[in-house]
Amino acid sequence: MASPDFTQIADDRKLFKNDHFFIVEDLYPVSPGHLLVISQHPYRDYLELPMHIRPFLSQAIDQAVIIIKERHQPDGFNIGMNCGEAAGQTVFHFHCHVIPRYVGDMHEPRGGVRHCVEGKGYY
């Protein structure tokens, strides 16, 4: 499967945009309502985002949460990004996942993102 080109996303797919970020539905959602916050410019990952645009990321994440809550009734959220191939990044254009979570959507959600390294989530 070819890596998506975020620069080619049509405006009619964009649910929100500000000067630096836009929001779209994830084409391969892990739960109902899964959204992506994507940079307007092709920064590689979060660590490349200039400091002066990071506050706009918070605004866009907040807007993604509002959109999800309007359309779904999630019980929680995972909000995250992968920075680098070793961290699982496969599309090298900044994007942040806003994933709604629902009671019962997995057997044991405790530990959340700590489970990104197998066997390390429990302590």
DSSP 66-87: HHHHHH---SEEEEE---SGGG
Residue 119 backbone phi and psi in degrees, to 5: 80, -5
The residue annotated as part of the active site, out of 93, 95, 97, 107, is 95
* Amino acid making up residue 123: Y
Buried/exposed 26-42: b ≥16 CB within 10 Å, e otherwise? eeeeebebbbbbbbbee
Q: Is 95 a catalytic residue?
A: yes
Which residues does the annotation mark as catalytic?
95
